[in-house]
Amino acid sequence: MFKIGCHLSVSKGYLHMAQEIIELGGNTFQFFSRNPRGGSAKEIDPDDIAAFLEYTKENGISCILAHAPYTLNACSKDEKTRDFAFTAMSDDLKRMEYTPGNLYNFHPGSHVGQGVETGIGYITDLLNRVLWEDMTTTVLLETMAGKGSEVGSKFEEIREIIDKTELSDKLGVCLDTCHVYDAGYDIVNDLDGVLDEFDRVIGLDRLKAIHLNDTKNPFESHKDRHEKIGEGFLGADAISNIINNERIKDLPFYLETPNELPGYAEEIAMLKKMRKSL
């Protein structure tokens, strides 16, 4: 099945997002676990969750992805920022258990001059404190563009984080198509080579979701600016190859393109046409 969706606002609750994605023509969605600028999360409403779970069963919504706030930086130089990362992620992961068996994605963070190794140390410290044996959520490390001092723009860095995490069976990877191209993985001319490399370094069984974005910047630009599907440096053909590739076509795809809801509906319709088997 083609699992396709986009980023939605959680402000009106879970049921509302589920209804919204069905209206947009999708069957999965992403949302921020809390305000993207940080701060506190919206209270869980048990009635909303019950209605949501019922609705998703009836409407074939198979999985959802919560995205941690951008301000969450597990490897900051500043202790308060690292503490916020711990508090926010542990609270998010507890709330995720209301909707069991889903995905939670976060940016590994920026080491801000402390060096990649120190950064990876802080990130794994955090993961070793927030993961627990019986959790049902899979926590995804997002592949980054390598802007500034971002950790996670090289597959090797992600591999090292996974290796140093005790409960590494709780971890997976979310590949962002804009980010990896900006980072220097040529998914336009050699998608299969990039997937081979991912498999060799991390293992394709760890890949659990794709952020499907075009990019405003050329190859290896380390910029991270998303573009609408087919309007950037990836282009429609590369996007079509990605959603039809045998090794990744069954993963959930999430649009984070610069769109309002009608724009997302158009992109979802376009992608469904590009897709060889729905």
Q: Does 216 bind Fe ion (CB under 5 A)?
A: no
Shortest distance (Å) from residue 255 CB to Fe ion: 10
Please confirm, yes or no, whether 222 is among the known catalytic residues.
no
Options 37, 47, 205, 260, the catalytic residue: 37
Which residues touch 27 (CB under 8 Å, ≥6 apart)? Answer: 1, 2, 3, 4, 5, 21, 59, 60, 61, 62
Q: Which residue has tokens 């959680």?
A: 10
| Residue of 150, 160, 176, 224 that binds Fe ion (CB under 5 A) | 176
Nearer to Fe ion by Cβ, of 20 and 176: the residue is: 176
Measured from the CB atom, the residue of 95 and 211 that comes closer to Fe ion is 211
- Whether 256 is a known active-site residue: answer yes
Set 226, 254, 264, 267: catalytic member: 226
> Is-catalytic flag, 70?
yes
Partner that binds at residue 224, options Fe ion, Zn ion, none, CB closer than 5 to 8 Å by kind: Zn ion
What does each C-alpha distance from 234 to 52, 209, 241, 252 come to in angstroms? 35, 19, 11, 19
Region 213-232 residues binding Zn ion, contact defined as CB under 5 A: 224
Please say if 16 is a catalytic residue.
no
Residues in the chain: 278
- DSSP-derived secondary structure for 129-161: HH--TT--PEEEEEP----TTBS-SSHHHHHHH
Partner from Fe ion, Zn ion, none contacting 20, C-beta within 5 to 8 A by type: none
267 contacts which partner out of Fe ion, Zn ion, none, CB within 5 to 8 A by kind? none
Instruction: Identify which of residues 224 and 267 has a Cβ nearer to Zn ion in the complex.
Output: 224
Strand pairing report for 226-227 and 214-215: antiparallel
Q: Tell me if 211 contacts Fe ion by CB under 5 A.
A: yes
CA 103 to chain centre: 8
Segment contacting Fe ion by CB under 5 A, of 9-17, 41-49, 140-148, 270-278: 140-148
Nearer to Fe ion, 15 or 212 (CB): 212
**Can 179 be counted among the known catalytic residues?**
yes
Q: With helix as H, strand as E and coil as C, how does 10-79 read? A: CCCCHHHHHHHHHHCCCCEEEEECCCCCCCCCCCCCHHHHHHHHHHHHHHCCCCEEEECCCCCCCCCCCH
On the CB side of 184, how many CA atoms lie within 13 Å of its CA? 7
Q: Which CB, 56 or 110, lies closer to Zn ion?
A: 110
Measured from the CB atom, is 45 or 263 closer to Fe ion?
A: 263
Marked catalytic residue, from 92, 150, 214, 224: 224
Site membership for Zn ion, residue 160 (CB under 5 A): no
Q: Which does 211 bind (CB under 5 to 8 A by kind): Fe ion, Zn ion, none?
A: Fe ion
Contact by Cβ (8 Å): 278, 271: no
Q: What angle do CA 3, 195, 123 make, to 5 degrees?
A: 85
Dmax (CA) for the chain in angstroms is 49
Contact 274, 244 (CB under 8 A): yes
Active site annotation includes 111: no
Task: Give catalytic status of residue 37 as yes or no.
Answer: yes
Q: Which residues bind Fe ion (CB under 5 A)?
A: 142, 176, 211
Catalytic residues: 37, 67, 70, 107, 142, 176, 179, 211, 224, 226, 256
